[in-house]
């Protein structure tokens, strides 16, 4: 991890505050993942079956898959506006560590996307007839898993930020890396519904989050520098 330098905390809060203000001004972009999440889950009973038993079987995997896709939907714009107006280049050449600025931007992305999806998930669980035992692991797994989704997704967003139509390439890069998070997230909810312990799945999600928190910002900072220089 990069050495701390004077003003690191100030740089972090400045980037965090700036990005939060931008999110507040662009509420349409903030709503897109949530609307997608709600619409897709609403369509499942119409397209599959309204039977509570069928929906309960599908609920853990379906909610997690849609949460993953909703997060992916918001990634293309993670660094796009900063790249277009030159702010990204200024952040990268500033005396402060790019690692700190990247962490701040990813935290804003998680607050506006991952946390929002997590808070809405119980409502969608009701719509999907999710058994009562599944709500606690659903919330816990999403809290841990969506953090990893933002961190890992940031790598793809950084690699494709200089491409005008990089959405498809972003998906191809990131989707394989999302698979472990999806498997253990859905498995935690499924295990709880079936009466088994789900601590192991949550521990793995926590380990993936810790690993991503250390390594992903370094990879993102390097990818951003490469994209800006090109």
Q: What phi and psi values does residue 215 have, to the nearest 5 degrees?
A: -90, -40
Distance, C-alpha 195 to centroid of its chain: 28
Q: What is the pLDDT of residue 211?
A: 95
pLDDT at 3 over 50: no
Q: What is the mean pLDDT of residues 64-92?
A: 83
Banded model confidence at residue 82, pLDDT cuts 50, 70, 90 = confident
* DSSP per-residue codes, 81-126: HHHHHTHHHHHHHSSS-HHHHHHHHHHHHIIIIIHHHHHHHHHHHH
State whether residue 3 is helix, strand or coil: coil
Q: Where are the domains of the chain?
A: 8-229
Q: Dihedral of CA 201/72/35/50: which sign?
A: negative
Tokens (6 digits) for 159: 């690699």
pTM, two decimals, is: 0.88
Q: What is the pLDDT of residue 79?
A: 84
Q: How many CA atoms lie within 13 A of 125 on its CB side?
A: 23
Return the exposure string of 96-126: e unless at least 16 CB atoms fall within 10 Å of the residue's CB, then b. bbbbbbbbbbbbbbbebbbbbbbebbbebbe
Per the model's pLDDT, the better-predicted residue between 219 and 99 turns out to be 219
Q: What is the pLDDT of residue 153?
A: 93
Find all residues with CB under 8 Å of 53, minimum gap 6, and list them.
Answer: 129
CB 24 within 8 A of CB 113: no
Find all residues with CB under 8 Å of 175, minimum gap 6, and list them.
Answer: 72
Banded model confidence at residue 2, pLDDT cuts 50, 70, 90 = very low
Q: What is the pLDDT of residues 89-131, one digit of tens each?
A: 787 777 677 888 889 899 999 998 999 899 999 988 998 889 9
Banded model confidence at residue 6, pLDDT cuts 50, 70, 90 = very low
Q: What size, in residues, is the chain?
A: 230
Q: What is the pLDDT of residues 8-66, one digit of tens each?
A: 677 788 888 888 888 778 766 677 888 888 888 888 888 888 888 888 888 999 999 99
Other beta carbons within 10 angstroms of residue 137's beta carbon come to 23
High-pLDDT (> 90) share of the chain, % = 40
The rounded mean pLDDT for the chain is: 86
Residue with token string 């498997």: 183
Q: What is the pLDDT of residue 51?
A: 87
Distance CA 185, CA 203 (A): 11
Distance CA 90, CA 160 (A): 19
Find all residues with CB under 8 Å of 182, minimum gap 6, and list them.
Answer: 64, 65, 68, 145
Q: What is the pLDDT of residues 160-169, one digit of tens each?
A: 888 777 677 8
High-pLDDT (> 70) share of the chain, % = 93
Q: Dihedral of CA 172/174/178/180: which sign?
A: positive
């Amino acid at each position: 991890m990069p050495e701390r330098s004077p003003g690191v905390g100030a740089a972090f809060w400045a980037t965090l505050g700036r990005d939060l203000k931008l999110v507040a001004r662009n509420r349409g972009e903030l709503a897109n993942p949530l609307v997608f999440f709600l619409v897709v889950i609403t369509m499942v009973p119409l397209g599959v079956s309204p039977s509570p038993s069928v929906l309960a079987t599908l609920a853990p995997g379906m909610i997690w898959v849609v949460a993953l896709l909703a997060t992916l939907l918001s990634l293309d714009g993670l660094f796009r506006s900063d790249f277009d107006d030159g702010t990204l280049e200024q952040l990268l050449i500033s005396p402060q560590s790019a690692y700190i600025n990247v962490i701040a931007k990813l935290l804003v992305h998680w607050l506006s996307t991952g946390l929002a999806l997590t808070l809405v998930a119980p409502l969608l669980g009701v719509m999907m007839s999710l058994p009562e035992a599944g709500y606690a692991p659903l919330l816990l797994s999403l809290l841990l898993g969506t953090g990893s989704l933002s961190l890992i997704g940031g790598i793809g967003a950084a690699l494709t930020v200089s491409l005008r139509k990089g959405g498809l390439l972003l998906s191809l890069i990131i989707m394989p890396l999302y698979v472990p998070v999806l498997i253990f997230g859905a498995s935690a909810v499924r295990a709880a519904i079936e009466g088994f312990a789900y601590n192991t799945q949550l521990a793995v999600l926590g380990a993936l989050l810790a690993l991503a928190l250390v390594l992903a910002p370094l990879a993102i900072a390097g990818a951003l520098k490469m994209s800006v220089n090109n």
